[in-house]
Structure 1
Amino acid sequence: MRAEPSPAAPPPAETAFSVEQAGTEPVPADRRHGRPWSLFTLWFGANVQFATLSVGALSTSVFGLDFLPAILAVTLGTLLSSALVGLFSTRGPVTGVLQLIQSRGPFGRLGNLPSAAFTVVNGVGWCVVDTLLGIFILRDLTGMGFAPALLVMAAAQLSIAVIGYRMIHYVERGLAVLLVIVFAVVSAYGFGEVKVEASSEPFVGTTAAFLLVIAVTAARVLGWSAYASDYSRYLPASAKPGRVFLAAGGGSAVAGVWIGVLGAAIGTAGAVADPSSMVSRLLPDVLGTVVLLSLLLSTLASTVIDLYSGAMAALVAGFTIPRWVSVLVVGGLGTVLSWHAGHGDFAQQLQDFLLVTGYWLAPWAAVIVTAYWWRERGSHGITRLYERSHRFGWGLPSVLLALIVEIPFMNQSIYTGSIARAHPAAGPLGLFVGFAVAALTYAALTAWKPAPTAAPEPRMPVAARAE
């Protein structure tokens, strides 16, 4: 595979509507722009969407939680993972590089390849979820068949993601106000119809259902953490970390709690067979049409983030194609898989996907937190992230050990671990056990290495040796 460009090489100038040319290199000082507030609108818009509503609805319609416990579970899961999105976003202005480039520090260049591969899978998976939700809406609105709706969704998603970073921020900012108004209307109807007790029988008991809702809600937001710095790396190095944290984490948390709890309220009315119908059945015909159109736009806004960062992950893995071509490849794969997934049980597929992604992302996030904020406190310089000699770190062994520990806790439609089978309430704890094991393992494996006490992380990317 051809070497990546030197991290000191600046990409050409771009406008809002030109196709972004930047790849995996750091963003130079003269290309930095924007304010932390832009992260609030981005992550708010990304979470005020149909997938958030659907995951919230699972808590009451499928898992059988009563409404009040569902509120608490959705809130806890959202806040836990939104804090990581905010924390990881603070590294963007400091380094100017992608989130997965930063993970080369604790993982090494070769040790980071599984993380890059999984991020591609995560981007493709969320593309499938959001594409299916968009298809449900299009079928309700127009009556068109599955295949035409799939093609419409694919074309709309790819057109935005191909253009890149600036267009994504513009779209998210423009939709933020519209979606607040739309979901305020849906909230007025949805919370008015809420039933204090769920309509279905408890899934596997109150405790197990409560923990499962925390786990799947946390996993939904945790998927964004692998992308966090991708959308803050263009901010000036002078951006204050506290403001970046509050903007990114706050946007994710406010939207995630609001829409997740709204979904739980709507879910008390019945099972989620066709997610779009759970909204349309609440509203008058004309209003329902307007709301579903807005939900379709929110679904597109969410998908383009997954396509953009999934494509960037492929570049980090070593593919030497242009960024926009990578978007087309990732989006094309997501479109093909959407065709297959569209003929299955949506609720079960969504639950399985969230938990599977969480099993990897929780240990990975634990290593990043430990490496940059606890054990080594950001000692991995920008130059080292691009050095070929830095092949492996202790991050991958830590994650692999955590995955092994998680196996008995796994509870999927295709596999149930021994602990989850014997004690269903313990199954959802696997994500949190994996996080703790990975963090402690990485800290132990790096304990021999003196923690830095002097020079802080450089505020701007430095020139590094060409690869």
Structure 2
Amino acid sequence: MRANPERPPAIEQLGAEPVPPDRRHGRPWSLFTLWFGANVQFATLSVGALSTSVFGLDFAPAVLAIATGTLLSSALVGLFSTRGPLTGVLQLIQSRVPFGRLGNLPSAAFTVVNGVGWCVVDSLLGIFILRDLTGLGFGPALAVMAVAQIAVAVVGYRLIHSVERALAVLLVVVFAVMSVYGFGEVRAQAPVAPADGWTAAFLLVVAVTGARVIGWSAYASDYSRYLPATSRPRRVFLAAGGGSAVAGVWIGSLGAALGTAGALDDPSGMVSDLLPGALGTVVLLSLLLSTLASTVIDLYSGAMAALVAGFTIPRWVSVLVVGGLGTALAWYAGHGDFAAQLNDFLLMTGYWLAPWAAVTIAAFWGRGRREPADPYDPAHRFGPGLPCVLLALAAEIPFMNQSLYTGPLAAGHPALGPFGLFVGFVVAGAAYTVLAGRRWPTPHDRTTQHPLVSDQLRSDA
């Protein structure tokens, strides 16, 4: 008897291979609830709070900066999600087209790092909540987070969608109640002054907020690849991008409102100190669930990236490895300055992902697009994508402004620091458009196209 595509096995069996046509199911609307639920969470609230409590923007300009960064990056999530139904493959498999199989390895490695990094951030946020709710020590709270997060990611795609769909309804109610209190207590002015001026603070909030969401873009097709190939790209774009944008602007702005009250030393304290006892407990429990659900996405796609990089292990084993690394690093990071670590991590991810996103756009939608190589062809080792990203990274170095490294331009003119991400995006996109217009060594003349991918990729190009 043929398996029902609407009810795949309890534990997802597919890894980095394409989704067969008889396993395709679902509707684009599922992407709205997925990305809405993924963004209605504690990390979004905390990043919003950075804008006022750490960077020193007043509330109104903070909201404008949060909206700008969120809308720009959410558009990428929506755009890249449209490739999932067309191809049936993971986002990083598609990256082999402009990067090549070997040239794509740094992107796969960085996506693993991104998944591990967000596992660390969300684990720490969950520990803050568990500590406030139960009084658990750091070690036991970390163990609870690790088991819950890894368990859902091991089961896979269908359970992740189900969890996010259920949480989307719950979290709308919870955050609506929280918004009444949070926006009711907002102060027009930030508790601290911008260290490097208003312009630098505004651009930094745009960059950091955009970097938070752009991290999802490297995963976008992972959660739309099971949709039928007949799914309309416009609906996919609006569902995925809309869910991310609505939740990101709302919760980020709420975080900015809470940040006007003081420092971000204890993120859960922002919530528990604001709300009356029983309501505060309910909200913190809901935030804990949302944090778990968000981490699951990062673990799932981080594990998939490891498979794309060439590790020949089952998907669920890859989840255990990525989750284990994230848990170990969370133990180490839990004894540092959370706000500073979050800022550094967000900027670090943006420095790579902004050029990567620009190359992807140029390859599939820009003037640099052409007849694509087969992403499963072993002869397609290198494409122009990696040199373009490396060039963009070199262009970003003078603008880098983190506790780990400060570039010369950022050191002398701090207001220029946040421009690094935008410079990298423009440089990578322009370089790819130029290089892709030239004759780049490709295996088109000798390749055997993958039967599930080639026609869809060719027609889309």
TM beyond 0.5: yes
C-alpha contact 1:312 1:326 (8 A) present in aligned 2: yes
- Distance in 2, Cα, partners of 1:291 & 1:423: 42
Alignment gaps of 5+ in structure 1: 1-9, 451-456
- Distance in 1, Cα, partners of 2:372 & 2:159: 31
C-alpha contact 2:68 2:206 (8 A) present in aligned 1: yes
Counting only pairs closer than 5 Å after superposition, residues 333-344 of structure 1 correspond to structure 2 as 333-344=325-336
- Distance in 2, Cα, partners of 1:377 & 1:416: 35
Q: 1:153 to 1:266 in 2, by over 3 A?
A: same
C-alpha contact 2:6 2:23 (8 A) present in aligned 1: no
Is 1:398 aligned with 2:400? no
Q: Secondary structure at the match of 2:365?
A: helix
The aligned amino acid for 1:267 is: G
- Distance in 2, Cα, partners of 1:380 & 1:347: 42
The superposition leaves residues 322-373 of structure 1 with CA deviations (integer Å, 9 ceiling, x where unpaired) of 0000000000000000000000000000000000000000000000000000
- Distance in 1, Cα, partners of 2:75 & 2:123: 27
Counting only pairs closer than 5 Å after superposition, residues 280-291 of structure 1 correspond to structure 2 as 280-291=272-283
C-alpha contact 1:62 1:203 (8 A) present in aligned 2: no
The aligned amino acid for 2:50 is: L
Is 1:303 aligned with 2:295? yes
The aligned amino acid for 2:97 is: G
Q: CA deviation at 1:38?
A: 0.2
Q: CA deviation at 1:17?
A: 6.6
- Distance in 2, Cα, partners of 1:296 & 1:28: 35
The aligned amino acid for 2:205 is: V
Q: CA deviation at 1:447?
A: 1.6
Q: 1:20 to 1:261 in 2, by over 3 A?
A: same
Alignment correspondent of 2:459? none
- Distance in 1, Cα, partners of 2:18 & 2:8: 19
Alignment correspondent of 1:104? 96
Is 1:447 aligned with 2:422? no
Alignment correspondent of 1:7? none
Counting only pairs closer than 5 Å after superposition, residues 376-387 of structure 1 correspond to structure 2 as 376-377=368-369, 379-380=371-372, 384-387=374-377
The aligned amino acid for 2:279 is: L
Q: 1:401 to 1:12 in 2, by over 3 A?
A: farther
C-alpha contact 1:307 1:330 (8 A) present in aligned 2: yes
The aligned amino acid for 2:109 is: A
- Distance in 1, Cα, partners of 2:451 & 2:274: 51
C-alpha contact 2:58 2:190 (8 A) present in aligned 1: yes
- Distance in 2, Cα, partners of 1:39 & 1:162: 20
Alignment correspondent of 2:48? 56
- Distance in 1, Cα, partners of 2:249 & 2:283: 20
Alignment correspondent of 2:119? 127
C-alpha contact 1:17 1:167 (8 A) present in aligned 2: no
C-alpha contact 1:93 1:232 (8 A) present in aligned 2: yes
Is 1:355 aligned with 2:315? no
Is 1:79 aligned with 2:71? yes
The aligned amino acid for 1:226 is: A
The aligned amino acid for 2:334 is: G
The superposition leaves residues 279-299 of structure 1 with CA deviations (integer Å, 9 ceiling, x where unpaired) of 111100000000000000000
Q: Secondary structure at the match of 1:385?
A: coil
The aligned amino acid for 1:140 is: D
* Aligned counterpart in structure 1 of residue 106 of structure 2, from 105, 108, 114: 114
Is 1:418 aligned with 2:408? yes
- Distance in 2, Cα, partners of 1:73 & 1:11: 48
Alignment correspondent of 1:89? 81
Is 1:408 aligned with 2:398? yes
Alignment correspondent of 2:267? 275
Q: Secondary structure at the match of 2:15?
A: coil
Q: CA deviation at 1:449?
A: 4.8
Q: CA deviation at 1:15?
A: 3.8
Counting only pairs closer than 5 Å after superposition, residues 360-379 of structure 1 correspond to structure 2 as 360-377=352-369, 379=371
* Aligned counterpart in structure 1 of residue 142 of structure 2, from 114, 138, 150: 150
The aligned amino acid for 1:48 is: V
Percent of aligned pairs sharing the same letter: 76
Q: Secondary structure at the match of 1:379?
A: coil
Counting only pairs closer than 5 Å after superposition, residues 16-31 of structure 1 correspond to structure 2 as 18-31=10-23
Is 1:140 aligned with 2:122? no
- Distance in 1, Cα, partners of 2:194 & 2:354: 27
> What is the alpha-carbon root mean square deviation over aligned residues?
1.9
Alignment correspondent of 2:443? none
Alignment correspondent of 1:67? 59
The aligned amino acid for 1:82 is: S
Q: Secondary structure at the match of 1:366?
A: helix
C-alpha contact 1:314 1:326 (8 A) present in aligned 2: yes
C-alpha contact 1:64 1:209 (8 A) present in aligned 2: yes
Is 1:435 aligned with 2:425? yes
- Distance in 2, Cα, partners of 1:386 & 1:194: 53
Q: CA deviation at 1:69?
A: 0.4
Q: CA deviation at 1:200?
A: 1.2
- Distance in 2, Cα, partners of 1:460 & 1:12: 20
C-alpha contact 1:65 1:206 (8 A) present in aligned 2: yes
Q: CA deviation at 1:458?
A: 11
Deviates more, 1:21-30 or 1:125-134: 21-30
The superposition leaves residues 97-133 of structure 1 with CA deviations (integer Å, 9 ceiling, x where unpaired) of 0000000000000000000000000000000000000
Q: CA deviation at 1:377?
A: 3.8
Alignment correspondent of 1:3? none
Deviates more, 1:321-330 or 1:15-24: 15-24
Compute the TM-score of the two structures, normalised by the length of structure 2: 0.94
